[in-house]
Every structure is written in C-alpha cells, then in structure tokens.
C-alpha cells in the first residue's frame, strides 16, 4: 500500500502493510544513534517472529507518495536489515507539533537515549510547542532543572558532545564542563590531564566523577593564572578584559583566575618594570613621581607632589624654613614607616627559613609537631590549599607513599596518600611542615605574629643568628644604607659618591673582608655587621 491509497481511508484507525521503500525517517527525531548490535539482534528476532508492534506513521508533509515515521525508527531499520519488503504501520493524521510530541513520548522514556539526543528532544519541544521548561517538566513528569541541565550540554564543543555520546565521559562531568564552553583552551588541555590521572591507576580502572573533576581543575590551572599573583591593581573593568572567572576548588575555596594570560603577563611585566624604576629612583635619592595611568600603585618617596604653577609666597623666611623642616620630618617619618613594613615582611620570611631548617633536622619535640599539624588541619578551608597540597604530595612521594595527579586538592586523595606511607609519622610531619612553613604570608595558615611565636618557642634569636645578605640591603634607600654603614662603623671614605647599587656591593665587600679577618683573629677591634637595632625591635603585625 502506498501513501496515496491510504489517504482515502480512516487514517486514525488504519493499520496496513506498507512498502518499506516509501517510509522516510523524520528529520525532527532527535534520536540519531542506533546500536549496530541492537539493530542486528532485533533484525534476527524480526526474521523469526515478524514485526510484533506496528510503527506509527503519517503521510509525509512534503511528499504525498511517502510516509514519515513518527515512532518506530528502530523497528524500521531492523526490518530493512532483515530484508523485509513491507512492514505493518499504523497511519494517523498528525500535525508537526503533535508528531514531535509523540516522538518525544517514545524517546524520552527509553534507557538507551543518550544525553545529547535527549537535549535535542527537549530543545525541539520548547521551540515547536512554545511551552516553558516548567510546563514541559509537568507534562513529561520530570523536573525543570533536569531539562535545563540537559539543554546546557548543547553548549559543549561537538567533539566533547561526541565523547558524551560514546560514553567516554559521564553526564555529571559534561555538566561541569558547560561553564567553560567559551574557553577552547580548557578543552585542549583536558585530554592530557585526564590521561595523566588515568595513568595513576591500574589498567582497566574506570575513572569516576571525582577523577574527572580533578582533571578539569588541573586543566583550568594549566591555561589560567591566579589573579592574586598580580603586581598591578585589578579593577572590575580590567577583570572583564582579563576574562577573570571565579570557581571553587575541590576543597570548596573560591579561586579567581584569568583566562587572558597574554594580557595578564603583559601587565605584569609593565608593573615590574615600573616598580624597578621606582626602586632605582628611590635608592639614588632622586624624587620619584608617578606617571599618569601607572599600574604600579605606590606613593612618592617623600610624599611631596611637584607644583607647576607659580604662587606668590607671603610667608616670612622663618615660616618658610619651619615649613621646610616640617616637610622633611614628615618625609623622614614616612620613609621610616615604609622601611618598618619592609622589615616586618623580611623578618617574618627570615623566621620562616630558620623554622623550616629546624623542622627539617627534626629538632622540635613531638608535642610541637602535633600543634603545628593540628593548626594546619583546622585551616584547610582557607582557600590556600594548592600550595600545601603540592608540598604534601612531595613529602608523601619522598617517603614512598602513593601519589595521585599533580596536586592534592581532594580530601580523599590526601588521606589516601598519607595512608599509604609506611615511614615514621614524625619524619613525615617534620618534612611536610618544613615545606609548609615557607609558604608566603597571605597564603600560609599563619600570619606574621604567629610565625614570630613559633620562632620564639624554638628559641630562634634574630639578634644572634642574623647575617648580612644582599636581599636585606636591597630593602633600603641610599641614605638608609649610609646610616646602616655608620651603625656598623664601616669606613665612610667615598661611600657618599657611590650610586645605590655600587654602595650595596661595597658594603658586602667590606662585610666579607671584616668577617674573614674577624674569624682569623686578625682584627678584634672591628666586628662584622650585627643585626640592626631597628630590625631587632621590629614587631611582627597580627592580621585578623
């Protein structure tokens, strides 16, 4: 029977054998993937028992001599494979929207419908019926959130949609990928991070949702840069240009990272260059003024802004001198405050290094190690876990434990790694904490004052253990360097004429020579440089 003959009958009740050649699959059917094995099995069954359930068709809207399959395309394909000439069909009158809804009803409740096919089914229904997601959810007995999540999958690159169809990635992971669909670099990095995590397991291991999420986080870190590393001011407008996104790591801590890494590095280099220029000009004693639009946000060294217009001065000479003296005192006070802040940071870093050395040599008691470990354990949700995770992984590897991935961001991974270590727990604690303690303040679990308290408990004394280094001298301007050389009673001949960099080299040369002579006992009158009084008195601030 062909479509023209069927048109003269009661189409809603008509079940006829129709030539298979005049049946056409519907273009609106979202189901595109049919298992070859499943079709072959159904074809074998049809050869033995025939088509037990007629397929649903209508007269083709664009070709009256053919029929469009509304429901039953799988049976149609199997019948063709079984080489049938005709197939039983139920012919109905149906408009486009009604046909689409009947296709959806058949497809949506099949277990083998893949997520992408389901997504297209929901999308077609929304576009053709005009119904909202909520009304569709009510009609098809599902949730609005489920419909929305499925449709979002269509934002993924086609390659990753196919991975989902092929079962290479689970739907939950595909949903995690959707927010990053606009960043192709993430998807370029993902295969490598997934493969890296897969290599940590025995052959045949099936990666779980948490493994895929770890791979995604690794990929995000590989193609972005942390905004917190910026040496320039990151405004809201600049965040848009840098393509800054916030996401939460596996510990739940919020992280801001920039996807426009080229612009970030360009601004970073510019900021460093301006900072270097500022430091050089400050060190040479010249007045530093800020350029318009400068990314390096720091005050002029002496706090005095140049005046470009002439104003008649009615002050007496005494008042003028008093104002000059006041300005100089204010500038000196400001320079002293700036140096105090630098001293606090340097002193804290120095303490951290000394504490790390003691930890590494197992000097602290078991009770002290326990206190440090306990403190770190209760601060693991502060958003600074990437640093500690890397150090923990390194320590576990050192002591023969199991490592997983490049970072420990998952609590389960951390526990699994620690649980695989067979060495002394005190040794592992000490080596790990020796690395943790060196994490810069701001990312560390401790603040400045707490580092000072640890140093005090370990009897670390900066006044007796301090030694002169170049990085310490770099904290100072030229006038401050001259003051230090006087405090140490170094020879002053020619020092005033040197540039700041030359002055630092000269001080280091004198210190090296004096220390050598002092250790040999050749000159007991002139001692090497001792800890500056201002540094010894510097208090480490506490940040709440």
pLDDT value of position 381: 42
Given the candidates 3.90.320.10, 3.30.390.10, 3.30.70.3340, 3.90.1530.30, the CATH classification of the domain at 13-94 is 3.90.1530.30
d(CA 287, CA 302): 7
Active site residue: 19, 37, 68, 73, which one? 73
CB atoms within 10 A of CB 268: 17
Candidate ranges 76-90, 276-290, 331-345; pick with highest mean pLDDT: 76-90
Distance CA 161, CA 76 (A): 26
pLDDT (average), residues 402-407: 54
414: pLDDT strictly greater than 90: no
Distance (Å, whole) CA 424 – CA 129: 68
Cβ 187 vs Cβ 173: under 8 Å = no
The residue-averaged pLDDT of 448-475 equals 86
Averaged pLDDT for residues 104-122: 77
Angle (CA) 230-232-234 rounded to 5° is: 80
Tell me the pLDDT tens digit for each residue of 182-218: 999 999 999 988 888 777 766 666 777 777 888 888 8
Joined tokens for residue 154: 């269509």
Domain boundaries, the chain: 13-94, 470-515
So what's the pLDDT on residue 290? 42
The label of the residue with tokens 């069954």 reads: 45
Q: Is 73 a catalytic residue?
A: yes
Q: What is the pTM of this model?
A: 0.43
Query: Which residue do the tokens 């308290």 mark?
Result: 453
36: left (phi over 0), alpha (psi -120 to 50) or beta: alpha
Residue 464's contacts (CB-CB under 8 Å, 6 or more residues apart) are 531
pLDDT at residue 496 above 70? Answer: yes
């Amino acid at each position: 029977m062909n479509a023209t003959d069927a048109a003269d009958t009661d189409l809603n009740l008509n079940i006829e054998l129709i030539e298979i050649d005049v049946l056409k699959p519907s273009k609106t059917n979202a189901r595109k993937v049919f298992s070859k094995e499943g079709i072959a099995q159904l074809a074998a069954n049809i050869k033995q028992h025939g088509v037990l359930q007629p397929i649903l068709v209508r007269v083709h809207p664009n070709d009256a001599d053919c029929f469009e399959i509304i429901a039953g395309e799988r049976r149609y394909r199997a019948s063709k494979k079984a080489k049938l000439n005709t197939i039983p069909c139920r012919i109905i009158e149906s408009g486009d929207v009604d046909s689409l809804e009947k296709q959806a009803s058949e497809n949506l409740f099949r277990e083998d419908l893949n997520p992408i096919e389901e997504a297209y089914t929901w999308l077609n229904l929304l576009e053709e019926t005009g119904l909202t997601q909520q009304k569709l959810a009510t009609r098809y007995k599902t949730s609005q959130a489920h419909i929305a999540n499925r449709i979002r999958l269509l934002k993924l690159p086609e390659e990753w949609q196919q991975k989902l169809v092929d079962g290479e990635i689970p739907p939950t992971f595909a949903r995690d990928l959707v927010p990053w669909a606009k960043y192709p670099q993430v998807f370029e990095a993902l295969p490598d991070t997934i493969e890296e995590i897969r290599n940590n397991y025995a052959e045949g291991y099936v990666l779980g949702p948490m493994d895929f999420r770890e791979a995604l986080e690794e990929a995000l870190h590989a193609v972005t840069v942390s905004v917190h590393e910026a040496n320039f001011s990151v405004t809201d407008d600049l965040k848009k240009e840098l393509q800054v996104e916030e996401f939460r790591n596996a510990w739940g801590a919020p992280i801001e990272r920039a996807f426009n890494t080229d612009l970030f590095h360009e601004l970073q280099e510019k900021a460093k260059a301006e900072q270097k220029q500022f430091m050089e000009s400050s060190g040479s004693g010249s007045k530093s003024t800020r350029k318009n639009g400068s990314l390096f946000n720091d005050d002029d060294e002496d706090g005095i802004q140049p005046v470009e217009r002439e104003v008649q001065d009615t002050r007496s000479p005494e008042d003028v001198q008093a104002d000059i003296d006041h300005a100089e005192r204010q500038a000196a006070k400001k320079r002293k405050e700036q140096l105090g802040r630098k001293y606090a940071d340097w002193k804290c870093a120095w303490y951290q290094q000394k504490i790390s050395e003691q930890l590494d040599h197992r000097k602290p008691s078991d009770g002290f190690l326990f206190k440090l470990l306990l403190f770190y354990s209760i601060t693991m949700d502060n958003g600074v876990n990437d640093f500690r995770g890397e150090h923990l992984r390194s320590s576990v590897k050192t002591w023969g434990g199991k490592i997983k991935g490049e970072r420990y961001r998952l609590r389960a991974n951390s526990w699994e790694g620690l649980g695989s270590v067979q060495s002394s727990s005190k040794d592992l604690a000490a080596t790990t904490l020796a690395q943790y303690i060196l994490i810069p303040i701001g990312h560390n679990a401790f603040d400045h004052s707490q580092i000072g308290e640890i140093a005090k408990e370990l009897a670390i004394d900066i006044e007796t253990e301090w030694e002169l280094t170049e990085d310490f001298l770099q904290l100072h301007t030229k006038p401050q360097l001259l003051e230090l050389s006087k405090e140490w009673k170094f020879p002053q001949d020619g020092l005033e004429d040197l540039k700041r960099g030359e002055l630092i080299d000269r001080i280091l040369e004198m210190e090296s020579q004096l220390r050598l002579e002092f250790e040999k006992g050749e000159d007991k009158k002139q001692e090497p440089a001792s800890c500056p009084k201002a540094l010894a008195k510097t208090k480490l601030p506490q940040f709440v």
